[in-house]
Chains A and B, each alone.
Chain A
């Protein structure tokens, strides 16, 4: 089948599967069925609702607890159990980077799992894959409640517990069981020692991979149990594991859109949002699958049989997987890879880069929808300027205070990416760590900062990023890229919630119309394009031009 048609059909099918999942997630956030269990476990206080500030403080407190416990485990793994392969102590800056990376749902990895971390460390990181995903979804629930005109943003502890127990754990169990049935290992035994047919010894690393893999894909985490992530045969053994992984990557971010609309009580608004996100996703898929179907330029004058670019790709997944996966994983803040992005054709990088830069179509679990909310605020503002009216969103006036917060939130992402890239490209901190020379080397640095700021975690992995400057810089970027885009939108929602509702008139820009969808589409396109166009030229486009020259 034509790889482009296959990819488009695949995305549409996952979109259809995500719709009922959105209803399940909505139920999770509304039900009180778990109260008899949660009241004794967590205390009576969990039903007490709070304003946005307390909700965020509770979120931050929980994340701080995750951070401290994980740091302690990773830093002391050599003295702790579940370490059959005798993994040694890890330097503090890598412990810092890894801990931040998994607490922030990024899963950027400056290490190879099978050569660095014990099974206990890996399972601790798996625990963060659950809890960080739940944190993101909880933040979205709070935002939606605030925007529905409610001053009651809910209770973070109550939300997180319900998301874990009723949503993430059941789904992950289903996925993990399928994974184990199709050949993903699930064992606490250490490496197997094999004697090959030629008499050599091969040590084969394995571990409790299936349990890890399920939430890695479902929770837009993306951190691999093994260094090469989902290209590794134990992390993706065959066509079936590959398909269910590619379903898992976007399905919860897609479901979050319906949940957002359901909590607001505006399902048509959610449909418009979903359509805009889907349009962007399909554009990215198209502009990536087409250039990646071309042969690599490296073999132009050699006697090599015609084929698509196979460097960095496994044979068992089929031809469309590389580029389709690359777009899904970057568009959803997942960051797992099904092919090595550093070996993709130059123009094939533009789609994945756009995913990281926009970070909202569909974006990470919960937070992707939050990022998209910012673009909607910017869109109603621009629309308001065009017709000379005070902009409104969902019946609330968007005024100077909200716009200042939205502008601040919008600027965080490009500021972190571009200033970080500039600093590292100019100094040996970055310039001495690149793997491929020329524009691809620049792309490696740019991608590392884009991925960190987007809390994505994939990389152009040729980059020698296991250094102190890289570990610290990307650690800071991941933290700012996680919590600022949560607190600022919550603050906007808090500010809007305190205002009186204005009556709808003929001059109101309705949020459930095609006009609104097109307006948001244009704002995302122009703001995104204007911000990152120059660096896209310096990286992928320049490399392509040098290649055809």
Chain B
């Protein structure tokens, strides 16, 4: 039966040749990335992945974008709310209230929109600037010190900037 032979050959090609080859390459050439870009603290504990958003609720930290899956990295998802869904407006209103945004200090759009994965590790630079005063007050630091920690470029990785914040206090 050539059909069964082809089936078997295709299993061997994919499972015994292709997958192990990619695995061996990843584990030897870029092991840190192949394992999920994990961030290890100085005491050897896993703090998170630099690619995956995690929850930050303390005023002392930069907050990520809202997450439709509550930052559950074992069940990622977006909100799937359409622009005409009143839930989308309601969620934004609540965030605006908490952050005391108004016409003179509008909230950056990424802070009121959930990403597709619910795990977007970034916020825009504007969204980071928007949070600086709160963090400065909570930490007793001046705003300029915190602003100096922000990386160049339009996006800020929330976990990385929060690690930098914790280091700055020492």
A297 at the interface (CB under 8 A from B): yes
Binds B, one of A20-28, A269-277, A336-344, A388-396: A336-344
B26 at the interface (CB under 8 A from A): yes
Chain B's closest residue to A341 (CB) is B80
**A311-B79 in contact given A43-B5, A196-B55, A208-B19 (Cβ < 8 Å):** yes
Report Cα–Cα, A21/B34, bound state, in Å.
29
Contact with A along B12-45 (1 / 0, CB 8 A): 0111011101110111011001111110000001
Contact with A along B108-140 (1 / 0, CB 8 A): 111011111111111110100000000000000
B22 in contact with A194 (CB, 8 Å): no
Report Cα–Cα, A306/B107, bound state, in Å.
9
A161 in contact with B9 (CB, 8 Å): yes
Report Cα–Cα, A45/B75, bound state, in Å.
48
**A123-B83 in contact given A42-B5, A161-B6, A298-B88 (Cβ < 8 Å):** no
Nearest-neighbour CB distance to chain B for A159, whole angstroms, equals 10
What residues of A have a CB within 8 angstroms of the CB of B58 in the complex? 198
A226 in contact with B122 (CB, 8 Å): no
What residues of B have a CB within 8 angstroms of the CB of A198 in the complex? 55-58, 61
What residues of B have a CB within 8 angstroms of the CB of A295 in the complex? 109
**A197-B61 in contact given A42-B9, A177-B22, A228-B77 (Cβ < 8 Å):** yes
Nearest-neighbour CB distance to chain B for A206, whole angstroms, equals 4
B150 at the interface (CB under 8 A from A): no
Report Cα–Cα, A205/B126, bound state, in Å.
30
B98 at the interface (CB under 8 A from A): no
Binds B, one of A164-172, A278-286, A485-493: A164-172
A191 at the interface (CB under 8 A from B): yes
What residues of A have a CB within 8 angstroms of the CB of B15 in the complex? 123, 127
Report Cα–Cα, A188/B17, bound state, in Å.
16
**Of residues A169, A180, A345, which shows the largest number of chain B Cβ atoms within 10 Å of its Cβ?**
A180
A313 in contact with B115 (CB, 8 Å): yes
A503 at the interface (CB under 8 A from B): no
What residues of B have a CB within 8 angstroms of the CB of A310 in the complex? 109-110, 113, 115
Interface positions, chain B 63-89, Cβ under 8 Å from A, are 65, 71, 73-85, 88-89
B83 in contact with A296 (CB, 8 Å): yes
Q: Which among B2, B71, B83, B118 is the interface contact of A547 at CB below 8 angstroms?
A: B83
A298 in contact with B23 (CB, 8 Å): no
**Of residues B10, B38, B85, which shows the largest number of chain A Cβ atoms within 10 Å of its Cβ?**
B10
A32 at the interface (CB under 8 A from B): no
Nearest-neighbour CB distance to chain A for B169, whole angstroms, equals 12
B115 in contact with A314 (CB, 8 Å): yes
Report Cα–Cα, A546/B110, bound state, in Å.
25
**A180-B155 in contact given A58-B3, A436-B81 (Cβ < 8 Å):** no
A181 at the interface (CB under 8 A from B): yes
Binds B, one of A91-99, A232-240, A246-254, A362-370: A232-240
B145 at the interface (CB under 8 A from A): no
A160 at the interface (CB under 8 A from B): yes
B10 in contact with A314 (CB, 8 Å): no
What residues of A have a CB within 8 angstroms of the CB of B35 in the complex? 185, 187, 189, 192, 206
Chain A's closest residue to B119 (CB) is A233
Nearest-neighbour CB distance to chain A for B14, whole angstroms, equals 5
Please give the number of chain B residues whose Cβ is less than 8 angstroms from any Cβ of chain A in the complex. Answer: 91
B19 in contact with A191 (CB, 8 Å): no
Q: Which among A157, A165, A297, A299 is the interface contact of B3 at CB below 8 angstroms?
A: A157
A216 at the interface (CB under 8 A from B): no
Chain A's closest residue to B118 (CB) is A228
Report Cα–Cα, A169/B14, bound state, in Å.
8
B148 at the interface (CB under 8 A from A): no
B71 in contact with A165 (CB, 8 Å): no
A298 in contact with B11 (CB, 8 Å): no
A343 in contact with B10 (CB, 8 Å): no
**A197-B166 in contact given A227-B75, A461-B78 (Cβ < 8 Å):** yes
A471 at the interface (CB under 8 A from B): no
Nearest-neighbour CB distance to chain A for B105, whole angstroms, equals 8
A316 at the interface (CB under 8 A from B): yes
Report Cα–Cα, A543/B14, bound state, in Å.
45
Nearest-neighbour CB distance to chain B for A17, whole angstroms, equals 23
Report Cα–Cα, A127/B36, bound state, in Å.
23
Chain A's closest residue to B53 (CB) is A233
Chain A's closest residue to B114 (CB) is A311
Nearest-neighbour CB distance to chain B for A14, whole angstroms, equals 23
Report Cα–Cα, A234/B46, bound state, in Å.
17
Nearest-neighbour CB distance to chain B for A68, whole angstroms, equals 10
What residues of B have a CB within 8 angstroms of the CB of A342 in the complex? 78, 80-82
What residues of B have a CB within 8 angstroms of the CB of A346 in the complex? 82-84
B163 at the interface (CB under 8 A from A): yes
Nearest-neighbour CB distance to chain A for B97, whole angstroms, equals 11
A42 in contact with B55 (CB, 8 Å): no
A114 at the interface (CB under 8 A from B): yes
B116 in contact with A164 (CB, 8 Å): no
Interface positions, chain A 167-212, Cβ under 8 Å from B, are 169, 172-173, 176-177, 180-189, 191-198, 200, 202-206, 208, 210-211
B6 in contact with A62 (CB, 8 Å): yes
A205 in contact with B49 (CB, 8 Å): no
A293 at the interface (CB under 8 A from B): no
What residues of B have a CB within 8 angstroms of the CB of A173 in the complex? 18, 21-22
Nearest-neighbour CB distance to chain A for B44, whole angstroms, equals 11
Q: Which among B2, B7, B22, B38 is the interface contact of A69 at CB below 8 angstroms?
A: B7
A-B contact pairs, 5 of them (CB 8 A): A42-B2, A62-B3, A173-B22, A196-B56, A304-B92
The 3 closest A-B pairs by CB, nearest first: A231-B116, A462-B80, A307-B109
Interface residues of B (CB under 8 A from A): 2-7, 9-11, 13-15, 17-19, 21-23, 25-27, 29-30, 33-38, 45-49, 51-58, 61, 65, 71, 73-85, 88-89, 92-93, 96, 101-103, 105-110, 112-124, 126, 155, 159, 162-163, 166
Interface residues of A (CB under 8 A from B): 41-43, 45-46, 58, 61-62, 65-66, 69, 85, 112, 114-115, 123, 126-127, 130-131, 134, 157, 160-161, 164-165, 169, 172-173, 176-177, 180-189, 191-198, 200, 202-206, 208, 210-211, 226-228, 231-234, 237, 295-299, 302-307, 309-316, 337-340, 342-343, 345-346, 435-440, 460-462, 543, 546-547
Beyond the given A114-B76, A183-B51, A315-B155, could you list 6 further A-B residue pairs with CB under 8 A, ordered by the A residue number? A186-B34, A187-B35, A198-B56, A211-B22, A343-B80, A343-B81
